[in-house]
Amino acid sequence: MKVTGSGFCGACSYAVSDAYSKEKPTLGGTRIKTRKRNIAAPLDPAAFADAVVQIYLDNAGDLELVAKNLESSDLNFSRYGDTFFEVVFIGGRTQPGTIKLDEGERHPYSVIECEPKREAILPSVIYVQKILRRRPFLIKNLENVMRKMLQSLELFEENERIKLSIFTALAFSQKLSGLPPETVLQPLLKDNLRGKMEDDLLEFFPSTKRTPEAVSEHFTKAGLLPLVEYNDKKIFEVRLKEMKSTLTTQLAEEVAISEVIETVKQHVKDAKLPDIEVVRILWDVLMDAIQWSGKNQQQNANSALRQVKKWAELLNTFCTTGKLELELMYKVQVQCYEDAKLMKLFPEIVRSLYDQDVLAEDTILHWFRKGTNLKGRQNFVKSLEPFVKWLEEAEEEE
């Protein structure tokens, strides 16, 4: 039978269409073809957060399954990365500019819902690590959200602050895709932002325990050796820079050599600087202090040789072994190789260092025969041959 106009079939079709348009697809239950399309690519952070929360709920907080479902989804992580980590940390999306939960779904498997214990929070860190391996661009979003949380610690309960601190410490110890401690921890200092990790960590300790030794002891006991190593490295680098800066100033002010020597000794004592690093810094400072004349090769040569002669006593004081003398030769070699204006000065500088008793004959011969640094070595060996020949002949005569 054929029905036309506004007959039954037309009305039925309209009713079905209307009912379908009002029906909202749900996230639970059987997966249907439209489900992924409807939830996978939300166009606003609230919908994105709800979708992520639902994945947590669908998998009862099993982080392994959550990670797999997130991987297979089409969620726009590049656009809503901060929102994702808000869901990770507090179970839902926060209101803009705050840590207060916004309207919307929330799951009970967030970091601040865990027990305040290392073993309870570690799975969340490992879960985040897996997410970052698949989407390394999210590291910046993690950094943003961690800074936001740490900057608002006073708004969290005491046990929540403990959980965030445990997560933060574990994140550094697990080396989450290069997460930078000094950047993440800066908000905790607020008025004391100096950007130096060695100062930052000390600020978190009681005034009576603000020493590098106290920091190392504390975090070693906590099992956070990577953080200890990182902090020690930052302290070491800063102390080297401090000594270099001090020496540069003294040379510019033409301070007496005896005073410069005492300054170096004091830095070595206070910072426990390795002898080999001291030798490297001394050479850099001496060469940086020279007023080079540009392309005039002879003037540059004269300037370098005058500097060596003038500060030979300083170099002598700290080049106390054959190993340190060899390190100085390597420094000269690398600088002459990397600096075009010094390229042809290598044999003259070495000869001057020998004449001023900074380099011993054995050191020069060892470098010539068995040197291991390859930068420009072939050319430098050839240019040094006449001087080495003279040394060998003098040795034979003796």
Q: How many CB atoms lie within 10 A of CB 267?
A: 20
pTM across the whole model: 0.52
Alpha carbon 352 to chain centroid, angstroms: 41
- Give the HSE-up count for residue 134: Cα atoms under 13 Å, Cβ half-sphere: 13
3-class DSSP state of 177:
coil
pLDDT for residue 176: 66
Angstrom distances, CA of residue 129 to CA of 84, 91, 132, 149, 256: 14, 18, 5, 19, 55
Residue 73 has phi, psi (to 5 degrees) of -85, 170
In the prediction, which pLDDT does 203 show? 60
Residue 380, pLDDT score: 94
Euclidean distance between CA atoms 251 and 313, whole angstroms = 14
The two tokens of residue 362 are: 């054995």
pLDDT by residue (tens digit) across 351-385? 999 999 999 999 999 999 999 889 999 999 999 99
Cβ pair 334, 373 in contact under 8 A: yes
Other beta carbons within 10 angstroms of residue 84's beta carbon come to: 25
| pLDDT confidence of residue 202 | 63
CA distance 26 to 35: 7
Q: What are phi and psi for residue 43, nearest 5 degrees? A: -100, 10
pLDDT along the chain (398 residues), means of 10: 44 44 43 42 79 94 93 91 93 82 85 91 92 90 87 85 86 70 59 42 67 78 73 82 93 93 92 91 93 78 90 94 95 92 90 94 94 91 94 75
The CA-atom distances, in angstroms, between 268 and each of 258, 261, 282, 321 are: 15, 11, 12, 17
- The label of the residue with tokens 């698949």 reads 134
Task: Supply the pLDDT for residue 297.
Answer: 79
